[in-house]
A = this chain, B = another copy of it.
């Protein structure tokens, strides 16, 4: 991953790469930084796209070189990455579960194109204010939120018949 990224994250140590952050997390739990866990974190943070568990299994379980990461270990490790605050799990309107980077990545929400299934990220201060207002009104201790706005993206509205894609 590009070292130009700024891992600003409040009071958390901001100098760490995701890999280092994961090591720290594992250490704090008496867990070990194995070659499988290393390969998995490196892979996950080598790009920024959203992905599902099975994508990783495909990529890591049958590769030619060692180490490989078996299906159960992929699932186990993804959970750890979520616990460690490195990844976030989101469920799409279709029911698909995908992961995305969370560590050192700004809070955001998504526009979901129901034609091409693309996810577009956006940030909104108004939403943060709304959260605060709700917390106040319902005396609710907010820990997070998930907003997905679905519809049809610009591309799919233009090339309507150019590249047919299947429905959700």
B-chain residues with CB within 8 Å of residue A4 when the two chains form the complex? none
Q: A143-B150, A144-B150, A145-B148 are in contact. List 20 more A-B contacts (CB 8 A).
A: A93-B144, A111-B140, A113-B140, A126-B126, A126-B130, A130-B130, A131-B149, A134-B149, A135-B151, A139-B157, A140-B149, A140-B152, A140-B153, A140-B154, A141-B157, A142-B150, A145-B150, A146-B150, A147-B147, A147-B148
Q: Bin the interface of chain A by size.
A: 35 or more
Which residues from B are CB-within-8-Å of A124? Answer: 130, 134
A45-60 Cβ-contact flags toward B at 8 Å (1 or 0)? 0000000000000000
Q: Which residues of A approach B to under 8 Å, CB–CB?
A: 89, 91, 93, 95, 97, 111, 113-114, 120, 122, 124, 126-127, 129-131, 133-135, 137-154, 157
* Nearest CB on B from A119, distance (A): 12
Can you list 5 pairs linking A and B with CB atoms under 8 Å apart?
A: A120-B138, A126-B129, A139-B154, A141-B151, A145-B147
Copies held by the complex:
2
Q: Are B114 and A138 in contact, with the CB atoms below 8 A?
A: no
Asked whether, in the complex, the Cβ of B143 is within 8 Å of the Cβ of A146, the reply is no
